[in-house]
Every structure is written in C-alpha cells, then in structure tokens.
Amino acid sequence: MKLLVATRNKGKLKEITQKFSSIPDIALFSIEDIEKEIGSISEVIEDGTTFAENALKKARDLSQRTGYPAMADDSGLVVDALGGEPGVYSARYAGDGATDAERNALILEKLKDVPARERKARFVCVLALVVPEKGEFLAEGICEGEISTEPKGSHGFGYDPIFYLPEYHATMAEIPLEIKNTLSHRARALEKAAKIVQLLI
C-alpha cells in the first residue's frame, strides 16, 4: 500500500515510519514526495470545530487530489479550566505569529488564580485515514496531565514546557525523548492507526 501522509515535516514522517515499521508492504510518502509527481499541493484551511473534522478534511483532500490512501492528523492541548481551550486553535493561540513561549505565557496568565486540583489538561491527537473504496477511519490518542505554574524543560516544543505529568514528576519538556515518544498523544494515535492499516492491507 502506498500511503500519503499530509505533512512536510520530515521528523513527523520519520516518527510515523518507525511506528509502521512492522507492517509489510506499505510505503509512506510525504506531501513533498508526491508533489514531485503531480505538482504543487496547496495547504488545506483547517476550519473545523474538532480535531477529527480538521484531520478528515486534510486526508480527504490529499486522497482526492492523488487517488491514493492518505493520512492526516490534527492535535492540540485541551485545558479543562479554560473550557477546552486552546483546542483546535492550539497552533494559533495568542494570535498568528505568536511564539511557543507567548502561547505558554498566555495560558499561565489565564490560570494564575486556578488551584492545582483544577489545572487538569490533556494533549489530544486524532489521525484520519482515507482509503479509496475502503472508507474513512479515525484513531485518537490522549495524554492526560496538568498545567504547571511555570515552564520547565528544554526537550520538547509547543506546550510541552507547561504540560506536567504527575507520574513522572516532570513536564513533557523535561522527560527524555524516547520516553515521550511512547506516551505522547501522537504515539498513542499512531499505534491505533497502525492496527487499522494492518487490517486494510
């Protein structure tokens, strides 16, 4: 099976390739790979109200353009005390062009008077698989945690420095990458997606 992944990020493609390494007869290609065959592919506007809607929109678009099976993801941080924010707006929180540090600072400011017991949060990743003539499939991964009171750690990116994992007594940005890659929301979603792909081949 030739599976197109809706990303230009080589790191993300490598992570997915590793998760799918035990599946025979599958070849993964990025958007850049397929553009060499069919020409430029424009970015899809992520205007869905849920992670699933955005992921499906991207996967459907890529599959329809190429005729190949396609996979796309959408992910973000969900903070209970903020009514689910930033959610699908995680990448655009604090405005277009804002840095990771500015987005983290905004969340910490909004939670400055919220006690520890009410700072529950989770990272959510939804992977959408669109396979012509076989259907559409979703795989969700969730990593539960809390929002810390200050950023800590330098290993991660995005909201990792303020996402505290009680079982590790550390933020996501403080734990080693090899551990993060086993418990992250994306890793968990990929494990489920790999099982779906195995059934489809």
Question: Which residue is listed with tokens 């205007």?
Answer: 47
Note if 47 is an active site residue.
no
What does the alpha-carbon distance between residue 129 and residue 127 come to, in Å, rounded to a whole number? 7
Residue partners of 14: CB distance under 8 A and separation at least 6: none
Considering Cα of 58, then 60, then 62, then 64, what sign does the dihedral take? negative
DSSP 118: G
Residue partners of 130: CB distance under 8 A and separation at least 6: 56, 59, 60, 62, 63, 69, 70, 71, 136, 137
Query: Collapsing DSSP states into helix, strand and coil, what is residue 199?
Result: helix
Integer angstrom CA distances of residue 177 from 62, 97, 123: 30, 26, 16
Give me the catalytic one of 33, 74, 100, 113: 74
Is the CB of residue 146 less than 8 Å from the CB of residue 111?
Answer: no
- Which residues does the annotation mark as catalytic? 74
